[in-house]
Chains A and B, each alone.
Chain A
């Protein structure tokens, strides 16, 4: 984060997304810098997941431009899209693991599709990823339904990391985890971000995560990003929803003890 503004890795300008006549985002602007952990917060249904899905190209925007690694996602050729997809990883809300494949095979899948590595090497690399996200080696042969919710999230993260991406998108990674598990997960993400130099785009509701690992926070309300900045900026904001969120009974606990 030395020369911040020159190193914008994702930029969203004037984004509008809508489903039929239901407008989810309008005139939404957002920039993500290389190497930072950005947390996206907002009320349920404010369009956090939709924003994430739009950036990675799962939902088409109605207007606006999205640039990832400097390329306009709307104007990429198939070849460019493929090479861009190798550079990001997405972890979905409930893991979205392929249900008929084991954890190990789930992690091997992106490698198999994108590169021509030998079976042995893919297995070895998948094992490293399994260990890196804190799963025991006994999890490797298991099918997704045999895992607990927290393990599924970790396996989903391991698959997102399979190609050593530069950016990972995480959708509520700590939702549904116990506080200890959530804290461990936060630490995991922080550690990975530091060791791998990852940029992390994280949708979350978890004030502890926001506090512990996010360099910046973007607040989504009224169909756009209303405030973006550090935790201090959030606490200083006068927007009613932001005040309610960070100064409410749950917000106070986290921010005061810090």
Chain B
């Protein structure tokens, strides 16, 4: 009995006057059932006949084994009343009773419907979902603005420790990676400009190319994207795990406002730090450009700066900088919003973290496009 080296389960059908005698043999345990289950399901020919299941050859039986035999008898339509079990030991009878008492199939999932309908269904759901999502983001946005207003009126409500903590985590700690990446992109743009413009003998315009691109777009966009991936996602994960741990519910019952405690400091920290990071990104991007211009085009750094000063008005710098706090607000808002939407499980934290990054980057780029249109209109 100990060693589970087992006889395979099998059965033979012996015809009788009224119908059949199903003689089961061997170990009817879960490990052996794949062999006989299909055969048992194939016994449709028994309909209307008497079926006697003979257990005399069964050496072991467990719940799974008892179930398949029970099911076979149950499924033989119109089986005679005289159908049943034979030679059942007391132990086996207990199992058969247990199975019979617990045979409650669960509801089937609804059948997949017409595929066109399903497509429409999905589209409808997505539209509805996007609408709800937009509403719920605007809702949180409103709460944040109200909270910010109250904080301005009553600065003591501001969570200073938390604010500085996030300024360090989301801001200061991001300086190395943002510096490195903007430097590289600045260098790449300069290199590209140098090699293409040189063919027209216009390599000196590399200065304008780098200046415009980095100051207006690349500095702020890269910063925003890195920050969204690095810290916006962290907001979602942090707030989301708190949601899973019921910490947010605990706060509410203690009369604490999660928006005030968790969301406002994060948003403020972002709005303060992202412009600073953008400035660093701008400087490093230009630095990369200067370096390449120097190495590839023999434009000395001094020349580069003089030309920049002459041909790139300062408003291009501001055109980039103005966008930074807006991007910051959107990223932090989305990060917190997704965090608050986490439900139940750790898996949900992962899903919302991904969503948060995707949505934040999407919105940042859309916002950037809107800014570009706006700048063109006002000729800035």
List A residues at the B interface (Cβ < 8 Å). 69-70, 83, 86-87, 99-100, 104, 111, 114-118, 121, 123-125, 127-132, 137-138, 140-141, 143-146, 161, 163-164, 194-197
Contact = CB atoms under 8 A, between A and B. Distances in A.
A68 to B, nearest CB: 11
B98 A115 contact: no
B156 interface: no
B151 to A, nearest CB: 34
B14 interface: no
Interface residues of B, number: 33
B34 interface: yes
A124 B30 CA distance: 12
Contacts of B344: 99, 143-146
A132 B98 contact: yes
Contacts of A164: 29-30, 62-64
Contacts of A196: 62-63, 95, 98
B64 A141 contact: no
Contact of A130 (B30, B67, B106): B106
A143 B345 contact: yes
Contact of A131 (B64, B71, B103): B103
A146 B63 CA distance: 28
Interface string B36-66: 0110000000000000000000000011100
B345 A118 contact: no
A125 B64 contact: yes
Nearest to A191: B98
Given A131-B101, A161-B63, 5 more contacts: A131-B103, A132-B63, A141-B109, A163-B30, A164-B64
Given A118-B37, A145-B344, A125 B104 contact: no
A128 B29 contact: no
B107 interface: yes
A173 to B, nearest CB: 19
Interface of B: 2, 4, 29-31, 33-34, 37-38, 62-64, 67-68, 71, 91, 94-95, 98-99, 101-107, 109, 343-347
A117 B34 contact: yes
B109 A137 contact: no
Given A87-B4, A111-B30, A115-B34, A141 B106 contact: yes
Given A99-B346, A128-B67, A137-B107, A70 B102 contact: no
Contacts of B106: 104, 123, 127, 130, 137-138, 140-141
Which 6 residue pairs spanning A and B have beta carbons closest together?
A145-B344, A99-B345, A131-B102, A164-B62, A140-B106, A137-B106
7 contacts: A70-B2, A115-B34, A131-B101, A140-B106, A141-B106, A145-B344, A196-B62
Contact of A117 (B37, B71, B104, B343): B37
Nearest to B64: A125
A111 B67 CA distance: 15
Interface centre among B31, B37, B99, B346 (most CB of A within 10 A): B31
B157 to A, nearest CB: 33
Contacts of A111: 30
A143 B347 CA distance: 11
A115 B33 CA distance: 9
A195 B139 CA distance: 56
B48 to A, nearest CB: 24
A115 B30 contact: yes
Contacts of A115: 30-31, 33-34
Contacts of A100: 345, 347
A137 B104 contact: yes
A208 B275 CA distance: 64
A208 B316 CA distance: 77
A83 B38 CA distance: 24
A123 B67 CA distance: 12
